[in-house]
């Protein structure tokens, strides 16, 4: 009798487990344009049968694309300065919320640094500033200098929270004594200092490593076609070819081969710049890929570069996202559609927004060429923290899509979808037709290393919508308010 009871219990457990496995549930996190919900979790909804309404977002985990390195912000000198001025306990709590991988944290996984000062520093400096007329070709006076004030201490706190954080670094300018203008704004790198400047960038990577800060990648020059920032240093394609092919590439390949070299780091309106350089077979072997901003051009440019050179990676390294405080409605759906969905569907391995933090006046920044409208993802007023639209854009992805995730197939607006209809002459016959359906909302899907599917959807329309998801022949309908964004998560 006892054996029979045990067997009955085991059969019941197996039957219940099988039934539970069939009840695939979707967890949802919603952010609304009016701020009434921000990463707010919704009740779990179960997949079921097709109700025949709406056209679905069809998610296919078998079709894979690029692996994701992470989501985050630029940790500018100004951002680090404001963070470093906070009370240690307040800063510790904020950094944990930003960079930890806990349930209530947003898990930022990627940062971009400036090599020397950017235009969002309180003042300009390099690691080899000299008096007028002086030179230092042996870099005997090289020092990370002002990075020790704020950047390095804050980074060490962050890395203690998330040791796997990826870091990309970009120079805004060489030291002035290496430049044709002798000034921080504009002016080209003098050819006689190409080798010296390559060693300067190598020293940066090596000395940051000595501080326990590993630089995963560098871009050779921030916005090489921009001479208006303070600091800035334009570099033409012929100049970049010589500098990278004959100096920087071989030097990094010999001394720090683990640090990637990334081209361009500028707008989507000039794909010719990185492609012309990648056409040089001697230079090509030193380059991991190309990086883009979106202040000009179309985001699909990244796919064009990928199509030309699918063996090279694509990165998205900068975009300012601001919100007018006088407008009560956030433009969050538009920004998620453009940046999270747009960059990921166009092959980017990462998404970095500009910048992590500023004060209520959008300070600090440099004069005469510093960005006076660059609102931070966070507004820091002493220990008081306000979260702006850029924060919510990144959090909607970084919290759910960890490094190592892979983008997978999902149909977007006007992609062809299959619809089943009843033959109008014979109701017993079902017809299949293919339609380019514009009512499908913008979206992007991922498969995570933990075995989850993540689908990010933006309702950038002016009406409430229903998001219909199809996965492995099962369906679920979920409401999404006008101007809202959603992240849907379910097990594979």
pLDDT of 2 strictly over 50: no
Residue range 79-101, pLDDT digits in tens: 999 999 999 999 999 999 999 99
Residue range 27-62, pLDDT digits in tens: 999 999 999 999 999 999 999 999 877 889 999 999
pLDDT of 285 strictly over 50: yes
CATH, range 23-66+408-491? 2.60.40.1180
pLDDT of 309 strictly over 80: yes
Any idea which residue has 């660059």 for tokens? 374
Residue range 324-354, pLDDT digits in tens: 877 788 999 999 999 999 999 999 999 999 9
Question: CA torsion sign, 482 to 487 to 491 to 492?
Answer: positive
pLDDT band at 268 (very low <50, low <70, confident <90, very high): very high
- What average pLDDT does this structure show over 476-492? 97
Residue range 354-367, pLDDT digits in tens: 999 999 999 999 99
CA–CA dist 445, 64 (Å, integer)? 10
pLDDT band at 22 (very low <50, low <70, confident <90, very high): low
Strand-by-strand arrangement of the 452-458 sheet: 40-46, 25-31, 485-491, 452-458, 443-447, 406-410, 57-67, 465-471, 474-480
Torsions phi, psi for 2 (to 5 deg): -65, -40
Residue range 232-252, pLDDT digits in tens: 999 999 999 999 999 999 999
How many Cβ atoms are within 10 Å of 121's Cβ, its own excluded?
A: 26
* DSSP character at residue 224: T
Question: CA torsion sign, 368 to 374 to 376 to 381?
Answer: positive
Give the dihedral of Cα atoms 292, 295, 296, 297; nearest 10 deg: 50
The proportion of the chain whose per-residue pLDDT surpasses 90, expressed as a percent, equals 86
Cα R_g (the chain), whole angstroms = 25
pLDDT band at 199 (very low <50, low <70, confident <90, very high): very high
Any idea which residue has 């944990």 for tokens? 96
How is the chain split into domains, by residue range?
23-66+408-491, 69-398
pLDDT of 402 strictly over 90: yes
CA–CA dist 143, 248 (Å, integer)? 19
The residue among 435 and 382 whose pLDDT is bigger is 382
* Alpha carbon of residue 262 to chain centroid: 15
Q: pTM (2 decimals)?
A: 0.93
Q: Of 278, 308, 488, give the one whose Cα is nearest residue 396.
A: 488
Topology annotation, domain 69-398: TIM Barrel (3.20.20)
Give the dihedral of Cα atoms 256, 257, 260, 262; nearest 10 deg: 90
CA–CA dist 337, 294 (Å, integer)? 13
Residue 281, classed as helix, strand or coil, is helix
Tell me the C-alpha to C-alpha distance, in Å, between residue 393 and each of 38, 278, 333, 407.
10, 32, 8, 18
pLDDT of 136 strictly over 70: yes
Assigned token pair, 73: 């912000």
CA–CA dist 137, 178 (Å, integer)? 9
Mean pLDDT for the chain overall = 93
């Amino acid at each position: 009798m006892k054996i029979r009871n045990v067997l009955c219990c085991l059969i019941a457990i197996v039957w219940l487990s099988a039934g539970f496995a069939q009840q695939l549930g979707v967890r949802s996190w919603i952010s609304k344009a009016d701020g009434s919900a921000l990463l707010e979790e919704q009740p779990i909804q179960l997949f079921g049968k097709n109700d025949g309404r709406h056209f679905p977002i069809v998610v296919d985990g078998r079709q894979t694309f690029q692996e994701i390195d992470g989501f985050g912000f630029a940790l500018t000198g100004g951002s680090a300065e404001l963070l470093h001025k906070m009370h240690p306990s307040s800063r510790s709590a904020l950094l944990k919320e930003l960079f930890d991988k806990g349930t209530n944290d947003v898990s930022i996984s990627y940062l971009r640094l400036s090599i020397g000062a950017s235009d969002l520093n309180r003042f300009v400096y390099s690691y080899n500033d000299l008096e007028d007329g002086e030179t230092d070709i042996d870099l005997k006076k090289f020092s990370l200098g002002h990075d020790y004030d704020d950047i390095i201490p804050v980074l060490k706190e962050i890395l203690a929270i998330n040791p796997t954080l990826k870091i990309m670094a970009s120079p805004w300018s060489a030291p002035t004594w290496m430049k044709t203008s002798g000034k921080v704004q504009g002016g080209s790198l003098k050819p006689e200092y190409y080798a010296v400047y390559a060693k300067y960038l190598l020293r940066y990577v090596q000395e940051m490593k000595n501080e326990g800060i590993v630089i995963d990648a560098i871009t050779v020059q921030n916005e090489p076609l921009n001479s208006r920032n303070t600091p800035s240093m334009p570099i033409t394609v012929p100049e970049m070819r010589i500098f990278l092919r004959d100096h920087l590439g071989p030097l990094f390949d010999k001394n720090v081969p683990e640090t990637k070299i990334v081209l361009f780091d500028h707008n989507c309106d000039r794909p010719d710049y990185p492609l012309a350089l990648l056409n040089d077979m001697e230079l090509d072997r030193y380059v991991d890929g190309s990086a883009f901003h979106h202040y000009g051009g179309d985001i699909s440019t990244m796919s064009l570069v990928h199509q030309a050179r699918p063996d090279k990676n694509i990165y998205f390294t900068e975009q300012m996202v601001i919100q007018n405080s006088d407008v009560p409605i956030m433009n969050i759906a538009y920004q998620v559609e453009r940046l999270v969905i747009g960059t990921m569907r166009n092959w980017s391995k990462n998404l970095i927004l500009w910048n992590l933090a500023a004060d209520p006046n959008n300070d600090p920044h440099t004069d005469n060429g510093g960005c006076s409208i660059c609102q931070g993802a966070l507004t820091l007023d002493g220990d008081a923290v306000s979260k702006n639209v850029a924060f919510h854009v990144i959090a909607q992805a970084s919290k759910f899509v960890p490094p190592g995730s892979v983008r997978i197939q999902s149909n977007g607006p006007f992609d062809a979808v299959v619809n089943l209809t009843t033959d109008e002459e014979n109701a017993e016959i079902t017809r299949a037709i293919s339609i380019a359906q514009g009512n499908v909302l913008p979206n992007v899907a991922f498969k995570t290393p933990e075995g989850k599917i993540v689908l990010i959807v933006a309702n950038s329309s002016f009406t409430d919508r229903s998001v219909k998801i199809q996965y492995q022949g099962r369906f679920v309908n979920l409401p999404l308010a006008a101007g809202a964004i959603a992240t849907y998560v379910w097990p594979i």
